[in-house]
């Protein structure tokens, strides 16, 4: 079947994977905003809340938001605190330099470009990143799990992404991601073709069988030529 849409995971796919010490990052963020001695406790509480909500996502594909993290941690999410938080993520969210040319080539071929990300961040935070890296205008539709009840690999998350790019048939969609369970297994489960970008930091899932494996986004257009 003709490929009508390619939907990408975000972290580890459109953005190269970075291993982050979340508690250290939150401590750096919180230190200017709290009296001496309080920042470490606040950072630890936020990280514990994040961990609990991600565990729930991994167990039953239940989504969560950064606002829910803050509520669970008992922290007031001030505008200044969140602005510092996103700013400290800037070095870790840089879009793959190969991505703009690949996305332009897909759209030149008439293929819709989508994004589906498991994330607690709001849409505005992701669009800030994509706008900064000059790829926002190359994305036809995006779904962030913070806006829907589910995370990948729940089928409804993938269906929401298909709806966002205006494609009804899963077989006409290709999903590209680095997570064998969330991305590859999830996409294949609803009938999409799945392309895996291996990432040694991500747990394996033996039942996930990608349709193709690539090590760089630049390999995607030639791969589509063979399908």
User: For the residues of 131-180, what is the DSSP string, one character each?
Assistant: HHTT-GGG-SEEEEGGGSSB-TTSHHHHHHHHHHHT---GGGEEEEES-I
**The total number of structural domains that make up the chain:** 2
What is the reported pLDDT for 142? 98
Alpha-carbon torsion, ordered 118, 124, 126, 129, to 10 deg? -170
Pair (86, 106) in one structural domain: no
Residue numbers of the domain that contains 27: 22-91
What is the reported pLDDT for 103? 98
191: left (phi over 0), alpha (psi -120 to 50) or beta: left
pLDDT tens by residue, 180-225: 999 999 999 999 999 999 987 887 888 889 999 999 999 999 999 9
pTM of the full structure:
0.96
The whole-number average pLDDT for the span 100-116 is 98
Pair (143, 216) in one structural domain: yes
pLDDT at residue 1 tops 90: no
Provide, rounded to the nearest whole percent, the portion of the chain with pLDDT above 90.
92
Q: What are phi and psi of 98, to 5 degrees?
A: -80, -20
Q: Encoding tokens for residue 64? A: 């969560």
DSSP conformational letter for 90? G
Question: CB of 163 within 8 A of CB of 181?
Answer: no
pLDDT tens by residue, 134-182: 999 999 999 999 999 999 999 999 999 999 999 999 999 999 999 999 9
Pair (212, 131) in one structural domain: yes
pLDDT-derived band at 10, boundaries 50, 70, 90: very high
pLDDT tens by residue, 43-81: 999 999 999 999 999 999 999 999 999 999 999 999 999
Pair (118, 156) in one structural domain: yes
> Cα–chain-centroid distance for residue 115?
8
Among 91, 113, 135, residue at a domain's last position = 91
Report how far residue 111's alpha carbon sits from residue 220's, in angstroms, rounded to the nearest whole number: 12
Distance in angstroms between the alpha carbons of the first and the last residue of the chain = 8
Pair (99, 75) in one structural domain: no
DSSP conformational letter for 34? S
What is the reported pLDDT for 18? 86
CATH code where residue 195 lies: 3.40.50.1000
């Amino acid at each position: 079947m003709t490929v009508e849409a390619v939907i990408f995971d975000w972290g580890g796919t459109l953005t190269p994977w970075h291993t982050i010490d979340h508690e250290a990052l939150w401590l750096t963020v919180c230190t200017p905003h709290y009296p001496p001695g309080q920042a470490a406790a606040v950072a630890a509480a936020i990280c514990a809340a994040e961990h609990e909500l991600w565990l729930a996502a991994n167990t039953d594909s239940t989504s969560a938001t950064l606002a829910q993290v803050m509520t669970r941690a008992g922290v007031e999410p001030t505008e200044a605190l969140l602005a510092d938080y996103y700013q400290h993520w800037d070095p870790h969210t840089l879009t793959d330099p190969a991505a703009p040319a690949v996305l332009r080539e897909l759209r030149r071929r008439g293929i819709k470009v989508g994004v589906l990300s498991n994330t607690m961040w709001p849409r505005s935070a992701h669009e800030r990143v994509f706008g900064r890296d000059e790829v926002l205008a190359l994305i036809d539709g995006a779904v962030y799990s913070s806006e829907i009840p589910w995370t990948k690999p729940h089928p409804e998350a993938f269906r929401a992404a298909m709806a966002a790019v205006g494609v009804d048939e899963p077989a006409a969609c290709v999903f590209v991601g680095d997570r064998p369970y969330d991305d590859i297994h999830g996409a294949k489960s609803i009938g999409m073709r799945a392309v895996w970008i291996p990432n040694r930091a991500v747990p394996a899932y033996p039942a996930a069988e990608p349709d193709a494996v690539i090590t760089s986004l630049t390999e995607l257009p030639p791969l589509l030529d063979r399908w």
